[in-house]
Structure 1
Amino acid sequence: MLAIPYHRDRRVSVSGESMQPHLTGVQKIVIPKSDEQRARIRTATNGHFLFKHLNEDQYRDVVNAMAEKKVSAGTHVIDQGDEGDYFYAVESGCFDCYVNDELVTEYDNKGSFGELALMYNAPRAATIVAKTDGVLWALDRHTFRTILMNDTARKRHMYDEFLKEVPILKSLREEERHKIADSLETVSFKDQQVVVHQNEVGENFYLIVDGEALVYKSSDDGSPPRKVNRLGKSDYFGELALLNDKPRAATIVAQKHLKCATLDKNAFTRLLGPVVDILRRNSVNYQHILNLAAEEK
């Protein structure tokens, strides 16, 4: 059972606010911090897709505006249905994420949450409850939108057309596809680096942004793996990992420099709910995907 909701400094309404980021007229927020605190923020935000492409000046503005918030076990950091006020990065502590009172994911001394309501002017999509005492770094709504939404808009434009071609995502509505595009993370692989291994269980879907990859399949008779395909820009692989926990059907190896956009199953579920529920909207496509999943060996 969830703890008693914790409401403090909640926004009342943002229904009239534009979806576009505010680029002018916003005074920068500067909360004094020690070098040690700044280092802790860097650790907490390291690798997050929203921060990867910021320049040093933009990142410094983000760090300046972040506020340290210590929370106690049982605290509701955000509640589903509330208006969004802050984005949170976890420094320490364990936090449970509930959607419609069902536990969907956990944050264990890392991770972040709260960006969706700020990005889309939407009510909070989930409830976050502190399982233990912890420390969060909170970024206010206006700083978040002023600095981070410009890069998000660029990513959306780049990835949206690619995502339309992925069968498992064809049932997505436009606004849902935008959420996926906004949340894709960029990863790079060196020449001959293995991206996924055959027979290992994977959770990530990959879309090739630049470069090529070779697809190899091994047989049960112990013979050497054979090359079965070559993938290039706008091709994708691993999409069935969003649907089930079956082992990978092939090994994917980078050729020269490979750049991909990726999203994992937990992130997809947090954004939109279980993939199977999305697929069921289109019965023909749903059956097609089920057939693909059954055939993948």
Structure 2
Amino acid sequence: MLKPPPTRFTRRKSVSAERYDPEADEEEGDSQIVHPKSDEQRKRLSEAVKPIFLFRSLEPEQMHCVLDAMFEKKVCVGEHVIDQGDDGDNFYVIDSGTYDIYVDDNMVGKYDSTGSFGELALMYNMPRAATIIATSEGSLWAMDRLTFRRIVLKNAYEKRKVYESLLENVPMLKTLESYERMNIADALYSKTFEDEEIIIKQGDNADCMYFVEDGEARIAVKNMEVIPG
């Protein structure tokens, strides 16, 4: 198996020494980072971020800030986008191109025109866990470390606090450990329903579990006719 080629340029080190504290972060109206984009670029970026799980719970205004804050990065064949062991500087969303994933010089996977990477080092203040090398010319959308933390991590932290409180009042989850409820809270996302809209229908296959965050829901059960055998 081929080993990744040597890095073409000197990587920046020790860029994320500080830990991010969501509770200590105060919003500053004039600190919003905006990278100007053409209509065509914004359309491509909007399509690229649609599958990203991390962005699913963001409010429209927060999502607007995410799109503003991301900048385009062109890559060439053989370029190291990130190197294992380096400190994290950006979160990346793939717009186009193919990329190989290496861990300890062994190729463990690849990206082909879609996907995202780089969030773990930013979320947990850890060194990069893998090396990502471009195997074709391509384009990435990048978000710097501080903006990622202030928009994405702060939202995730605040969402977790709200949902943890909600889950603590669910009788069937009382026996769970705190970290287990945190894992469930991280997987939850809000879904809004109109008055009289059907949430689930008797007889449908079960594909989701719902917790009432706000409002009221009515439960109705149809009588099932029993046919004598």
Q: Normalised by the size of structure 2, how large is the TM-score?
A: 0.69
Query: C-alpha deviations, 1:170-202, integer Å up to 9, x for none?
Result: xxxx7xx8996697475989642575xxxxxxx
- Superposed displacement of residue 64, structure 1: 1.2
Counterpart selection for 1:118 from 114, 117, 122: 122
In angstroms, what is the RMSD of aligned CA positions? 3.4
Matched AA of 2:19: S
Change (3 A) 1:39 1:96: same
Q: Is the contact made by 2:78 and 2:136 (CA closer than 8 Å) also made in structure 1?
A: yes
SS of structure 1 residue aligned to 2:86: coil
Counterpart selection for 1:24 from 24, 27, 38: 27
Equivalent residue, structure 1, for 2:195: none
Change (3 A) 1:33 1:155: same
SS of structure 2 residue aligned to 1:59: helix
Change (3 A) 1:38 1:56: same
Counting only pairs closer than 5 Å after superposition, residues 174-253 of structure 1 correspond to structure 2 as 184=187, 191=201, 192-193=204-205, 195=207, 209-210=209-210
- Superposed displacement of residue 125, structure 1: 1.1
Q: Is the contact made by 2:93 and 2:141 (CA closer than 8 Å) also made in structure 1?
A: yes
Residues of 1 paired with 2:132 and 2:182: CA distance? 20
Change (3 A) 1:182 1:62: farther
Q: Is the contact made by 2:11 and 2:86 (CA closer than 8 Å) also made in structure 1?
A: no
Matched AA of 2:27: T
Change (3 A) 1:132 1:19: same
Residues of 1 paired with 2:184 and 2:104: CA distance? 24
Q: Confirm or deny that 1:47 pairs with 2:82.
A: no
Matched AA of 1:149: L
Equivalent residue, structure 1, for 2:60: 56
Change (3 A) 1:89 1:57: same
Residues of 1 paired with 2:77 and 2:188: CA distance? 31
Point out the structure with the larger strand share.
Answer: 1
Residues of 1 paired with 2:183 and 2:136: CA distance? 30
Q: Normalised by the size of structure 1, how large is the TM-score?
A: 0.54
Larger of the two Rg values belongs to structure: 2
Matched AA of 1:20: D
Aligned residues: 189
Residues of 2 paired with 1:178 and 1:7: CA distance? 44
Could you tell me which runs of 5 or more consecutive residues in structure 2 were left unpaired when the two chains were aligned: 192-198, 212-219, 221-229
Residues of 2 paired with 1:182 and 1:76: CA distance? 35
Change (3 A) 1:81 1:9: closer
- Superposed displacement of residue 30, structure 1: 1.2
